[in-house]
Structure 1
């Protein structure tokens, strides 16, 4: 597209002059004419370098990205998930750029590269959407509550970054904030403050030795009608069958070993998105 020179006539004061705000309106009107909004795009706000771009959906690649900039937009078109996003565009040229999009609601971050043509969205896994099990294995999971005797635990990594107190018998990450754990009896715990166990994927992980070795107990979970979750822990018992096979089973109830914890993956109410950014007067 050929460059167009437009005299916007901005002057701070004086007859026939424009205020700064009216000048900005003219610029926006100019860019909206040069770069029409993509179909289905929702106007938001934008800031960056190299001039003014139209207020469009930054996750819709049917309109030209022609500079490095920061955007606020919605991921309803060609985006990794629905909702509001903070978007960073790193522009090298029309065929090479990188886009990073972070959801305001879920806090997930995605990266998409353009090297000649657009690649697929790739989800970024961080300490905010993963958890390290008691055996040291990293897994994609959140929200998470860890059941343990917090005051007597021998594990320095029990309450690592982003984990907060969830009562005397648990800690929870940011996504599970507000959840509490109480001990009912030996090896029996109640988790309250969530919608219950995760709807999809794994729900509980047995306590393991710190070196990632053997399992220290067998976990059982039960969801109550009120949304609370009952977690029971049993000693691991092995039974020798007539064929000479060792079959694992449940023994007597036991409390969580002091050198481990139980991971419980929950379903939480959806976080409310922050209010829209209001336009400011110049």
Structure 2
């Protein structure tokens, strides 16, 4: 129905205007249409708007970005925020102090974070995802019926490798004894080459203790070890044939290389020793075991 305007007539008497009955009919018709439409549109027309986009009071009319990820604009939270209590769906920014944060956060260290919250069934399932605002922090956890699971670190190219103590899952290092790789599950591999200066006569041996590792193992690892005797000091000169022997002491294998005293250019090795004296020898090793 089009709007029916009541004719008021000529002021001040209203001469020529609608008589009372006609004016009342127009009012009745228009108010009836309003009431009919009101029953169709429901209660939203008479409800209060949210005062902010994370206002979840019952009966409020939602504003743009409400009860969701607020259109990508983070809601800034003040100092002292408890992440355990942050359970309303949205995106938040923590620029001050907070509690119950992800690994790597503690009293005195509060890296600024974005917190993205997804809710499935209000109060039943809650997912928190955190991302560093100025760093590479990334972790997730979920809440089920009021109980928070532990934080789980999300690994990227920035934190896969590093130190175990800092939460990395791969640690690699080198030192004077060789190289090593540690894995978060406790596996460790070591490898390297060591030069040992020692005068060794033909038929004699120098032992290499498998405990001479760049990092200590827990328990007994497996080993692949080779030795090479050299005619000169510091790993120089001709290579001399070497016979590898192993034995054990205190439950740990010891590897001994016997100087055969024969140069490859002279003959094939045998247990008849030659006369060449070694001044040094190489030890090549690869070991696999556990660091924890």
TM-score between the two structures when normalised by the length of structure 1: 0.35
Q: Which has the larger radius of gyration?
A: 2
Higher relative contact order, structure no. (Cα contacts within 8 Å, ≥ 6 residues apart) = 1
